[in-house]
Structure 1
Amino acid sequence: MDDQNKNLILATVLSFLVILVWYTVFAPPPGADLTAPPPAASQQATPDQPAAPAETAPAAATGQIDPKTAPRVAIDTPRLLGTISLAGGRIDDLSLKDYRETLDADSPIVRLLSYPGAENIVDAESYYATWGWQGAEGSGQVALPGDATIWTLEKGTTLTPDTPVTLAWDNGAGLVFRREIAIDADYMFSVTQSVENNTGAAVRLAPYGLVLREGAPKTPTTYVLHQGSIGMADGQLHDLTFKKMTKLDADPVAGQAEIVDVASGGWIGLTDKYWMTTIIPEPGQPFRLLAKYAANRDDYITSAQLPVIEIAPGATGTSATRLFAGAKEWETIRTYEKNLNIAGFIDSIDWGWFFFLTKPMFWLLHHLHGLIGNMGFAIIALTFVIKTLVFPLARKSYISMAKMKELQPEMEKLKAEAGEDRQKMQQGMMALYKKEKVNPASGCLPILIQIPIFYSLYKVIYVTLELRHAPFVGWLRDLSAPDPSSILNLFGLLPWATPEPGSLFFLFSLGVLPILLGISMWFQQKLNPAPTDPTQATVFAWMPWIFMFMLGSFASGLVLYWITNNAITFIQQYTIMAMHGKRPDIFGNIRAGFRRNGAAEK
């Protein structure tokens, strides 16, 4: 086996292993217990930092409220539809007008926030954002609003970008709490809490904003996808998967928490694949970032806990935060980061370890899509750009491969002379390489270059919202999903449906794109002479078809990239080898390969 083909096999095996590892899927945790009592706070208060916010009603607000019958305030914006519950004054009903659950025209729109009993719940039954106050040392016994508090709609009727609403609650002991909620035309809420002190003594309270989700997402997760808590603290990203958050619960009642003190700016919330709910304190505002898990209700909790405010008699204390609740659109999040000075907000999108590749790759793909208007053709254009950038390295590799082909007769002669003496064969080949100034290792360079590029593009296609339900041509209506066509029903000619993803038969349900991928790899392979070793020839013969089955269940956008990459590589390599006087005899190589495979079987 010559060194050139050894390197090619090694590079291909490495590519296979990288793809296989990153595509490993594990099941999400089980659902929540809706009958368990709510958790209690676990952190101790200090003079300047109150206890961690509890998800329970205060002593002054007794009784349980059915969220289905609680009074509500409507939310209606160009992109959001939902309600605010006056029971607790929390936002627990929110759907995204621009996104549907499936490609069907009558599919329900995506629900982000929900309460038990709400219609069209497809994920967490209880998922909401709320705000409140915690007592600090020296504040005494103060009745504070909680989940069972019934607020009064003091101002406004429906929350729209032009009409904010104000909720109010009087604790009956001299404190009047208000919560003014405004919203823009996209996904950003502005929430201003205030406390009017009509008592005869100063009151020390600390505001907080909280996001709570009951149960992890039902969407299957992979190692390339982050779902869980996500936060920024003074320029450092903090994230915990839902699985890791469960390990914070050492105490089944109170639990533990991850706590980070933020000096000047950040945000905290919960994210899944495409959607996010995040509390954002004012830029420059110190706060405490908290993430915890309560096992008795399967609650995942994140909160931003702000410093204590002392409110003098007759005065009013205020605190402002924002809430992002919506789709993780790159353009929208980048605009918020820039215009609202939200540090590192673009990193709420899961760029992964290779962020230095995924960020510019998506930036280019996004702008190509803006110019072309079709994401599939944008992926093809991106492939041309990538191949142009790496062409100088690839050119050296192709030239080396052309020189290796020139040395093929000499290598066959060395093999005949050495016979079974492998050491003599290797020494002769190394001497020949040194004499002709050929580096056999450079032949696998184009494949090795593809590993980080392939992974980065896989990451971009898998996690970015812009690829979700993005059509290409004909039957390819979602480039983030596998090719829906199937050889098992002759690509729609036979009257039965294709196997569902995850089923046993789906492995054999090859679509048009995976088949084209296998063919493109097979043709690219034929640029090189068929290996003389029968075992090696068999490995090479099966390699395109193994990759065809392996990548058949990948996102069709990724398979489209691979086909385009193979086609461009074929043209580049064929042209360069022809320019060096070694025009590949493709069909001759094919015939030779069949002859050698037949001989090997005999």
Structure 2
Amino acid sequence: MDDQNKNLILATILSFLVILGWFVAGPMIFPQWFPTETTQEATAPDAAGQPAATPPAAGEPAAGAATLETAPLPEAPRLTIDTPKLAGSISMLGGRIDDLSLKTYRETLEANSPNVRLLSPVGQAFPYYAVFGWTPGKGLTAADLPDAKSQWTVASGSTLAPGAPVTLTWTNGKGLTFTRTIAVDEDFMFTVTDAVENTSTAEARLAPYGIIARHGLPKLQNIYVVHEGIIRRTDGKYEETDYKDVTKYDPVEAEGAPAEIAEGTTDGWIGITDHYWMTTLIPEQGKPYKAVTKYVPGADIYQTEVRQPVLAVAPGAKAEVTTRLYAGAKEWATIRDYQDKAGIAGFVDSIDWGWFYFLTKPIFSVLHWLHGIIGNMGLAIIALTFVLKVLVLPLAYKSYVSMARMKELQPELEALKERAGEDKQKLQKEMMQLYKEKKVNPAAGCLPVLIQIPIFFSLYKVIFVTIELRQAPFFGWLKDLSMPDPSSLYNLFGFLPWDAPMAGTLTHTIFIGVLPILLGVSMWLQQKLNPAPADPVQQQIFAWMPWVFMFMLGSFASGLVLYWITNNTITFMQQYAIMSSHGHRPDLFGNIRKTFRKKPAPVAVPKPEKVRKK
């Protein structure tokens, strides 16, 4: 077996191992794509339960934790929530916000798809809700204060809407009257104002709190690229905690459950985030508070809490505290406005920008701006690619020039190989001497790749994490740029009368769609402009790489593949123009023409007869 065949077999084996490794390790690194997206599972956990009561601030007697309920809660009157973006209701049992759907988001692209359900009451699948209340200080007991099971009455309002708040009341019959006013804006922000009026003859000491409780967990992405779990900002420090890590907290003595307590004085917020949605409690900024992350064993309840300091309400006096609740989609523009205009410091960090936040944030800002101008997210991605290529062109220009010179040196390099023969050391020495004389840097060709790697991963993060890409259409069959290309060779891109394989399956990865094929072609064309490696084995491996990546990237979001195709096309045009300007006009299809060109049959020439000398 000759060396060429050996190298070809080696390259084939290596390429196969790369693809096999991708199929095995890919799901652990990159997301699995599902045809539908839901926020709740089909079955509920066995325990209904209530959040445990919170203890008062330091210096006050501890209140006993409420007993977790295992039976369904009784039916209670409800108030309707109706805003341009939200629909749901408020339960009078505890005055809890526990029924919320997002009007502007559907679970799938199907015409009859239901709206995304964010919050659910106890008794339904995986309860998820927000409750507010008070814990007792000196002289009061838990029975003197409203909690998650107290029956409130409506004082004013029948439907919660922007500009139309509702007011609830509850009295303990001992001189304390509690009033809860709930307002909502046109987006996703609730403002809850809890007030207490003391008509008794003794001072009342009590502490307000807000809780977000989640019973069990829905289907999670379970990948590193997006955070799902607890998010918190405390005095300028942003932190993320996975669900599994919450259960590992050390039990706090006063809690009797895994919990973590952080104290804030200047700014902060705490909540629970999903891929595209979140619920977050925001205390009054500039005032002291405690942010608590807790897990209730047995009932499988994850909680985030905001605890306010103890209030001392004198006889005949009134006190109140305000807490905001963000419950909705993680829209960048909406969250940014709350940060810049409503004074919620660092609120835009609730979107998972990742380690490359210094790139993902500006990249998305430009993409959002381009989308506002163009009106099509696919075209905005193409325009963003042009912007990025212009920014990195000064850095890439020298590498393109160097690659053009490397192409020019190919005949001389081939001559060096023939002279050196099997002496590899001599060949390397003469090659380095040639590079030095011609002032060529063979490593300069790696610069464009090094530049593209952080940009690629940052854009990958942006496309997968930001809700603005969710269900964003391009043209034709590409109706969701956050999902893989739905077309497939399996049914000849829709020409055969059967459905394409489901995204995320092995069959879908093998029978790739239109965009992955265009990606492979664009990578192959770009590779033709680069100087070939000196090692024949490397040449064979590099020859396979466009087609390997075609399958590897075929399961990525179509928006990312669209970016990569555009990037390759622009790079090809830039490099072709620069190499041509330096006198080296690449012959892209020369090898193909040589391969398929029919060679004339050799003409037999008779050998001359030898003449015998006399």
Name the amino acid aligned to 1:100: R
- Displacement of 1:343 in angstroms is 0.5
Which residue among 545, 548, 555 is the counterpart of 1:546?
548
Partner of 1:598 in structure 2?
none
**Change in CA separation of 1:200 and 1:592 when aligned onto 2, cut-off 3 Å:** farther
Q: Which stretch of the first structure deviates more once superposed, 204-213 or 145-154?
A: 145-154
**Change in CA separation of 1:275 and 1:140 when aligned onto 2, cut-off 3 Å:** closer
**Structure 2 residue 151 is the aligned partner of structure 1 residue 150:** yes
Name the amino acid aligned to 1:452: P
* Secondary structure, counterpart of 1:491 in structure 2: helix
Which residue among 34, 40, 44 is the counterpart of 2:46?
34
Q: Does structure 2 conserve the Cα–Cα contact (< 8 Å) formed by 1:289 and 1:305?
A: yes
1:343-492 correspondence runs (5 A):
343-492=345-494
Q: Which stretch of the first structure deviates more once superposed, 368-377 or 36-45?
A: 36-45
Name the amino acid aligned to 2:554: G
- Displacement of 1:249 in angstroms is 6.5
1:162-173 correspondence runs (5 A):
162-173=163-174
Taking the aligned partners of 1:359 and 1:588, their CA distance within structure 2 comes to 44
Which residue among 94, 100, 106 is the counterpart of 1:100?
106
**Change in CA separation of 1:54 and 1:209 when aligned onto 2, cut-off 3 Å:** farther
- Displacement of 1:55 in angstroms is 6.3
Name the amino acid aligned to 1:35: A
Taking the aligned partners of 2:188 and 2:177, their CA distance within structure 1 comes to 29
**Structure 2 residue 67 is the aligned partner of structure 1 residue 66:** no
**Change in CA separation of 1:243 and 1:590 when aligned onto 2, cut-off 3 Å:** farther
* Secondary structure, counterpart of 2:493 in structure 1: coil
Name the amino acid aligned to 1:425: L
Cα offsets for 1:133-169 (capped at 9, x unmatched)? 1123454665222222111111111111122111111
TM-score normalised according to structure 2 size: 0.87
Partner of 2:601 in structure 1?
none
Q: Which stretch of the first structure deviates more once superposed, 473-482 or 311-320?
A: 311-320
Taking the aligned partners of 1:155 and 1:376, their CA distance within structure 2 comes to 48
Taking the aligned partners of 1:518 and 1:579, their CA distance within structure 2 comes to 27
1:115-126 correspondence runs (5 A):
115-118=121-124, 125-126=126-127
Taking the aligned partners of 2:63 and 2:561, their CA distance within structure 1 comes to 48
- Displacement of 1:549 in angstroms is 0.7
**Change in CA separation of 1:101 and 1:76 when aligned onto 2, cut-off 3 Å:** same
- Displacement of 1:248 in angstroms is 2.3
Partner of 2:128 in structure 1?
127
Cα offsets for 1:354-409 (capped at 9, x unmatched)? 11100000000000001101000000000000000000111100100011112212
Taking the aligned partners of 2:408 and 2:482, their CA distance within structure 1 comes to 43
1:176-575 correspondence runs (5 A):
176-248=177-249, 254-528=256-530, 530-531=532-533, 533-575=535-577
Taking the aligned partners of 1:208 and 1:434, their CA distance within structure 2 comes to 72
Taking the aligned partners of 1:224 and 1:63, their CA distance within structure 2 comes to 36
Name the amino acid aligned to 1:91: I
**Change in CA separation of 1:148 and 1:90 when aligned onto 2, cut-off 3 Å:** same
Taking the aligned partners of 1:249 and 1:504, their CA distance within structure 2 comes to 42
**Change in CA separation of 1:295 and 1:265 when aligned onto 2, cut-off 3 Å:** same
Q: Does structure 2 conserve the Cα–Cα contact (< 8 Å) formed by 1:249 and 1:293?
A: no
**Change in CA separation of 1:479 and 1:448 when aligned onto 2, cut-off 3 Å:** same
Partner of 1:23 in structure 2?
30
* Secondary structure, counterpart of 2:426 in structure 1: helix
Identical-pair percentage:
59
**Change in CA separation of 1:459 and 1:592 when aligned onto 2, cut-off 3 Å:** farther
**Change in CA separation of 1:288 and 1:402 when aligned onto 2, cut-off 3 Å:** same
- Displacement of 1:593 in angstroms is 8.4
Q: Which stretch of the first structure deviates more once superposed, 363-372 or 129-138?
A: 129-138
* Secondary structure, counterpart of 1:213 in structure 2: strand
- Displacement of 1:70 in angstroms is 2.0
Taking the aligned partners of 1:251 and 1:264, their CA distance within structure 2 comes to 24
Cα offsets for 1:7-52 (capped at 9, x unmatched)? xx9xxx9xx999987426699999873327556458685226x869
Cα offsets for 1:507-545 (capped at 9, x unmatched)? 213111111101111111112355564422321221111
Taking the aligned partners of 2:436 and 2:300, their CA distance within structure 1 comes to 66
Cα offsets for 1:76-124 (capped at 9, x unmatched)? 1111100001111100000111110000121001111112455xxxxx6
Q: Does structure 2 conserve the Cα–Cα contact (< 8 Å) formed by 1:130 and 1:211?
A: yes
**Change in CA separation of 1:177 and 1:508 when aligned onto 2, cut-off 3 Å:** same
Name the amino acid aligned to 1:225: V
* Secondary structure, counterpart of 1:397 in structure 2: helix
Q: Does structure 2 conserve the Cα–Cα contact (< 8 Å) formed by 1:574 and 1:583?
A: yes
Structure 1 gap ranges (5+): 2-8, 119-123, 596-602
Taking the aligned partners of 1:590 and 1:251, their CA distance within structure 2 comes to 72
Taking the aligned partners of 1:135 and 1:250, their CA distance within structure 2 comes to 22
Q: Which stretch of the first structure deviates more once superposed, 436-445 or 552-561?
A: 436-445
Q: Does structure 2 conserve the Cα–Cα contact (< 8 Å) formed by 1:25 and 1:221?
A: no
Name the amino acid aligned to 1:371: I
TM-score normalised according to structure 1 size: 0.89
RMSD over aligned CA atoms reads 2.9
**Change in CA separation of 1:522 and 1:19 when aligned onto 2, cut-off 3 Å:** farther
Name the amino acid aligned to 1:237: Y
- Displacement of 1:266 in angstroms is 1.0
Count of aligned positions: 572
Q: Does structure 2 conserve the Cα–Cα contact (< 8 Å) formed by 1:25 and 1:223?
A: no
Cα offsets for 1:219-247 (capped at 9, x unmatched)? 42310101111121111112112222222
Taking the aligned partners of 2:596 and 2:244, their CA distance within structure 1 comes to 51
* Secondary structure, counterpart of 1:495 in structure 2: coil
Name the amino acid aligned to 1:222: I
Partner of 1:599 in structure 2?
none
- Displacement of 1:66 in angstroms is 2.7
Q: Which stretch of the first structure deviates more once superposed, 218-227 or 343-352?
A: 218-227
Name the amino acid aligned to 1:525: Q
Structure with bigger gyration radius: 2
Structure 2 gap ranges (5+): 4-13, 598-614
Partner of 1:76 in structure 2?
82
**Change in CA separation of 1:240 and 1:515 when aligned onto 2, cut-off 3 Å:** same
Q: Does structure 1 conserve the Cα–Cα contact (< 8 Å) formed by 2:49 and 2:70?
A: no
Q: Which stretch of the first structure deviates more once superposed, 30-39 or 428-437?
A: 30-39
Name the amino acid aligned to 1:46: A
* Secondary structure, counterpart of 1:523 in structure 2: helix
Taking the aligned partners of 1:64 and 1:319, their CA distance within structure 2 comes to 32
**Change in CA separation of 1:507 and 1:52 when aligned onto 2, cut-off 3 Å:** farther
* Secondary structure, counterpart of 1:500 in structure 2: coil
Name the amino acid aligned to 1:318: E
**Change in CA separation of 1:565 and 1:472 when aligned onto 2, cut-off 3 Å:** same
- Displacement of 1:196 in angstroms is 1.5
- Displacement of 1:592 in angstroms is 6.6
Name the amino acid aligned to 2:205: R
Taking the aligned partners of 2:383 and 2:128, their CA distance within structure 1 comes to 40
Q: Which stretch of the first structure deviates more once superposed, 24-33 or 565-574?
A: 24-33
Name the amino acid aligned to 1:73: L
